[in-house]
Each structure stands twice: as C-alpha cells, then as structure tokens.
Structure 1
C-alpha cells in the first residue's frame, strides 16, 4: 500500500517524545514501512529527520496550517500515486478529506478520544462542537482505539462497515516486569528518595496530564478515607499542578514531565497504579502499567473496561467516587498476593493482543479493506 499519513504534531525519530499521540504516529509509520508499505508522513515540523517525512511549518495552527496541509497533501499524493490518506489529528481531518477527494482515493480518520468529554466553559464547548462537526464529514473509514468510541460513532449515524477497532498498543519488551531499558534520571531519583517514598509506605503511581477530568481530586479524597499509608508519585504536568500539590500536601510527590524512555523505569517504583479519570478513550498508560505487571486501579469509563477485567486483570471503580477508590486501595494494601495476582494477569492480558505488531496487523487489515 502507498499511504499518506497526516498529523499536526511534530514527529521525531531520534529524540524522546512525551505525548502518546506522537509516539503512536512514529510507531505506526515505521511499523507499516517495516512491513513493506510505502508510507509518507506529513507532519507540522521545523526539523524533519527522514526522507519519507515531508514536513510543513505553518505560521499559525488555525486556517493557515490546515490550508498548507491540504496543498502539500495533494502535491505529495500526486507525486507518490498514493492509495489512501490517513488523518491522525483533528486539524488534519478536513484537509485530509478534501485532499483525498481531489486525488480520488479514500480518506480514513483516527479517533482516539471520547466524543462526549466533560466540557467546562464556552471554549471547551466550541472545541468539542468543532470536533463533532469534523467527524460528521463523509470519511471513508474510522480507526478507533476501542469499541466504546465505535459505539459512539454508530450512535451518530456512522455505518458499522466504516468503523475499524485497531485498539491501542504498548511495547511489551520495554515495559516489562523484569527489565528496565533506561534508568530514571538522577533528579527524579533524588525527588523520590527525598519524598520518603519506599520507606515503609505503599507507592501509588499516576502518569498523565494534570487536568480536571483526570480525577486526581477524587484520588485525594480517597486518601482522606483510608488509613493505609500511601504515597502518590505523580508524573506529568498541567494547569492543575499547583492546586493539586496543595491538595495532596506531603502525601504526593509531583515529578513533572518524565521523558518517555524513562517511564518504564518509573513503573518499577510503583506498588500500584491508579487512573481515576472521568473520561477516557483507551489510555495507553493502563496498558503500560499492566505490561510491567503493576496492579491497576482505574475508573469504569470509555474503553478502560475493555482492557481491565474487574478483579482479574485489575480493579475498576465508578468515576467520581472517592469511597470506591479508597476501598480498592485498602484491598491492595492489605494483600500482597492479590497485588501479585492482578499484576501477573494484567501482563498476560496485554502481551499478545496489545503489542505493537498486533496493532500493525489490525491497521494493515483495516486500510486494505477501505482501499478495496
């Protein structure tokens, strides 16, 4: 297949990246190329690194960026005689569709987040309305990361034969219970040691953006309701950091953004991992925790129940219920064998279905079906 892959993110093939979406693009492009497909990447990047990477650098992300993407996509499509256009990010959905129509090839969008996220304020309402409008355009295929998003699309009138569940993926060799490919940087090590973590406490991990919908206030409320000595290691940054640091006090250490190549080592610092989100698609961070055999507590939202079998490969709680989170924390803290059982079964669950090679096969099968 000859694929033109569009994204508004800057993709690096040599430097470490933090954002899961960018890592997904890099892996899919290189994975499909390794499988013999001619994939050209069009990203928004000042410093492209590969011959198959055709980057643009728009002066603005609105209007100018999409228009430049459209123009360049048509040029590349004609030069490469492509078979299909894939648009990974929202700002490329419409230019990708128009380019595909001009080229006479199908257009596929990747949908990795819930279509009904909680919104706060007019800005977020307009952003979500724009996202919904772009999805209503006549795309030929929708690559979704979980059946939950597929159901949302079907409820909005998208026919089932245009929806392909490609799932998400994790590197099960790098995220492994017995090995650490890259150790934590010294300043992270010093922060953890200075916090008192690992000194008679249970270490609870969180990795993600510090946004209200991630539910960290609920986790703080859960700690208020448990007598167990948990210390939370928070990896990530965002607008809520200062307020959350004050809310948790000495019960948490905020590490800031951790480079992605060091995240596997970070999971080895956790006795358990918690994702108390109010909304999700299929969060890769849950798969990463499971791959390292770290027992997971997560909320029953989005596609999370599709990867966690409650009581077997992790623990599920209702969203925005601190008492339920507290009960799950009590369960893990009181039974070391239960932690080991949940961790091992979580690892077994992701080793095959959620590996990157399995995702490449699903991607390849979906694109072939759309082209045919």
Structure 2
C-alpha cells in the first residue's frame, strides 16, 4: 500500500510490518499518526540449548566454527553468493557452513562445483524440509548466522531467530536487514553482491563473534517481537471497541529509546 493509499483508506487502523515505513508515515503525516500501527513479527525464543548440545542434535562435530543459514536455500536469498564467499574466505579447515532447508537446483550446482557432491566435509547440507526444532538447533549450533539476501527490502525471520537465540548475524547492508542489524547491534553487514567483500566479512565476523553479546537495544527488539507483544497489538482495537481498559503494550518508541 502506498503512502497516499494508506492516507485515503477508510480504516481505523493501518497496520505496518516494516518499522521504517511506519516511522516515515508518522514523520510525514503526524496528524494521522494515531491510525498507524506497527505489528510485531512474532518469534518464539528457542528452548535453552547450549551450542555443544545443538551440534550433537544435528550430528555436527563440536570442533571448529559454524556459519548457519536457515530456511529455503535459493539464489533469491543469495545462498549461491554465500557459498562462493565461504570458498574464498581464509578460514580454518574445521570451519563449516550449515545450510538448513530445501535447496534449489542452482544452489546445489554451486555447492557441488565448489565443494564436491553434497558439499563434502565443509558444507553441511540439510537439503529437505526441516522441522522447527531443526531450525532452532541450526541457529543455536552456530557461531554466526548469515542472511546474505541481495537487494532484499523486507524483513527476514532469520534475523529475528538469531537475535532471539542470542547469535550474531552477518547480513546484507541493504534494506530492512542492513538497518535492523546496525540499529540494534545485532552483528555486522556487508555488500553481499561482491563475493570477495562478503568473504572478508565472514573472516572478520567469525573472529569477532566470540566477543559479541546481545545488548540492551537488541533485547528490546526481541521483546517487542514476542508472541505476547503480538497478541496485545492485535487485540488492542477489540478491547477499545468493547470498552475494556487497554493492556500495557510495548511501543516502537520504547524499542528505539528504551
């Protein structure tokens, strides 16, 4: 929906998923700001599992460092670029790239070309639909989570998953991913369209990952995107219509400023 369409829409609330669009609407049309609502993108914090436990659950070696990419593995998400960057990066022989989720043909082709059929010993391919527990373990097993989506404007659940699991992210510097990682200190960004630059970013991020911690702004970001926050947002107008007192909600201003 365009800004103009949102202004003219005959609705009491216009819900947004993108906080940066939401901020722009409030900034450019302050008199209508009460109509704009930012809806959390809910993520459930995974059960408390240590990195060694998560690796055992996935039959991964405990030694070496792991870069994880989870979800559908396709060119649109830049997984081919990630494979090429991982091949170029100066990393240890025991460092691995974990791809958890169904691969498209192009990703399989690049993987096999660079690392041998099936990914050899350095690329762990879970090339199938994976259950929620496997996605959670894949993030928890990682030293670094990667979101190399080129030219991607919208949100990415992998960034939310990583933050909820307190794992740093290396992502595209573009769009929601780049701004969110930078704004809430969730990790590092790179020009993912340049494999050599992405390779250097992988080296640097893996070196810095042991010292990274989820900070106060990141914790507010995770709390805003909780299930409870999501439920309160969707029921707020219902409570208002029924004459019920409002529940205390987490606001985006609170996320931004604390």
TM-score over 0.5 for the alignment? yes
Structure with bigger helix share is 2
Distance 1:258 1:343, change over 3 A: farther
The question of whether the paired residues in 2 share the 8 Å contact of 1:205 and 1:232 is answered with: yes
**What corresponds to 1:223 in structure 2?**
86
| 1:344 partnered with 2:210 | no
CA distance in 1, matches of 2:154, 2:99: 21
| 1:169 partnered with 2:32 | no
Residue deviations 1:87-135 (CA, integer Å, cap 9, x gap): xxxxxxxxxxxxxxxxxxxxxxxx9xxx9xxxxxxxxxxxxxxxxxxx9
* Structure 2 counterparts to residues 243-262 of structure 1, below 5 A: 243-249=109-115, 250=120, 251-255=122-126, 256-262=128-134
Match of 1:270 among 139, 142, 154: 142
Distance 1:262 1:238, change over 3 A: closer
Residue deviations 1:27-61 (CA, integer Å, cap 9, x gap): xxxxxxxxxxxxxxxxxxxxxxxxxxxxxxxxxxx
Shift of 1:227: 1.0
| 1:147 partnered with 2:7 | no
Match of 1:214 among 54, 77, 81: 77
- Select the structure with the greater relative contact order (CA < 8 A; seq sep ≥ 6): 2
The question of whether the paired residues in 1 share the 8 Å contact of 2:84 and 2:114 is answered with: no
Indicate the structure (1 or 2) with the bigger Cα radius of gyration: 1
Q: Which stretch of the first structure deviates more once superposed, 252-261 or 350-359?
A: 350-359
CA distance in 2, matches of 1:347, 1:152: 22
CA distance in 1, matches of 2:90, 2:39: 42
Query: Secondary structure, in 3 states, of the residue corresponding to 1:307?
Result: helix
| 1:283 partnered with 2:153 | no
**What corresponds to 2:195 in structure 1?**
322
Query: Secondary structure, in 3 states, of the residue corresponding to 2:223?
Result: coil
| TM score, norm. by length of structure 1 | 0.50
Shift of 1:208: 1.5
CA distance in 1, matches of 2:43, 2:184: 22
Report the aligned-residue RMSD: 3.9
**What corresponds to 1:333 in structure 2?**
206
Shift of 1:268: 2.4
**What corresponds to 1:298 in structure 2?**
171
Shift of 1:294: 1.3
Give 5+ residue unaligned stretches, structure 1.
1-110, 116-134
Distance 1:149 1:202, change over 3 A: same
| 1:364 partnered with 2:227 | no
Distance 1:203 1:363, change over 3 A: same
